[in-house]
Amino acid sequence: MTNLPTLVEIWRGELLESAHSGHVVVCDASGAIVEAWGDPSAVIYPRSSCKMLQALPLIESGAAAAAGLRSEQLALSCASHQGAAIHTNRVGVWLDGLGLSQDAFRCGPQDPNDRPARDRLIRAGESACQIHNNCSGKHAGFLTYTQYVGAGAEYHEISHPLQVAIKQSFEEVTQEASPMWAVDGCSAPNHATTVHGLARAMATFASAHTRSDTRSKAAASLVDAMRTHPELVAGETRACTEMMRAMEGRVAIKTGAEGVFVAILPEQQIGIAVKALDGATRAAEAMIAQVLINLGALDAAHPAALKRVGGPIKNWNGITTGYTRAASVLQRG
């Protein structure tokens, strides 16, 4: 992964202060590459960007229907949320419906990134619990599946029936045999794939509404849930929420740790995957924003776009010190 093109530039005044390289792949409904930068065959961990793939067994098995899950819960199953009240309250109700407490989770406690939620805990002298974990919606989905099929409590283990089903779905939708797996931040297995495989999976989700098989219906329902509830997928100030709102429900996008980002464009039946080589969130956000601008899905002048690419960088005194821009190779026109 050497000699990759610079895709994002950080300027301070007239000096290029930092530069980010990486991989970007855009696929059509057939899985063919429409555009690419970097190395499409680079193997990466998709991290939380693949939560939609991990949620497929929840729906395909019949567990979601049996539990009466609504679109809000499906959105949370794909979320990396802030731990705000709108997230934790819903996950708590979901667990109650299963007859379980947060002790059934295997994701671990995490301090909320939502400032009001964090401040409430501090004022009350309380500690964060597992419901505050940004992956608690995904894990509620895991527990729903586990309960439905009558499997054991350690649903995060690679040999658990849930994880076996997830790996099968993952490899079928990416159309690649995963070469390896590792433990994610929430203790669940995360399967590696190529950047092309991840983009191909997103294209499958983007075209799912054109088909009527069980998997396609499941994928389409997850995409619709994300587009309908952008505030549940991430939270206020977050790129996923702000850019999905800016695109008015036409596109679903999802971040992953270590500089991964994906997008699903149902109207164009296109899937996108990006990976910033240095793992920088700001680089991945700028890459995905620029490609969405290129495709006409995101208005370059929208504040949610300018916050990620093309807009000014300001210091604490409100003075413009520079800007973040996509390198010319990543821009169209």
Q: Give the model's confidence band at 2: pLDDT under 50 very low, under 70 low, under 90 confident, else very high.
A: low
**What does the alpha-carbon distance between residue 225 and residue 316 come to, in Å, rounded to a whole number?**
37
Domain coordinates in residue numbering, the chain: 6-330
Q: Per-residue pLDDT tens for 163-206?
A: 999 999 999 999 999 999 999 999 999 999 999 999 999 999 99
Strands 181-183 and 260-265, bridge-based pairing: unpaired
Q: If you average pLDDT over residues 258-274, what whole number do you get?
A: 98
78 Cβ partners below 8 Å, 6+ apart? 51, 52, 55, 137, 138, 222, 225, 226, 233, 254
1 pLDDT exceeds 60? Answer: no
333 pLDDT exceeds 70? Answer: no
318 is written with which tokens? 């409100």
Q: Per-residue pLDDT tens for 277-288?
A: 999 999 999 999
Q: If you average pLDDT over residues 303-327, what whole number do you get?
A: 97
304 is written with which tokens? 């949610």
Give pLDDT, residue 332.
79
203 Cβ partners below 8 Å, 6+ apart? 27, 28, 29, 30, 31, 269, 270, 271
Does domain 6-330 match CATH 2.40.160? no
295 pLDDT exceeds 90? Answer: yes
Q: Per-residue pLDDT tens for 130-162?
A: 999 999 999 999 999 999 999 999 999 999 999
Is the Cα torsion angle 95, 100, 104, 108 positive or negative in sign? Answer: positive
**What does the alpha-carbon distance between residue 215 and residue 209 come to, in Å, rounded to a whole number?**
10
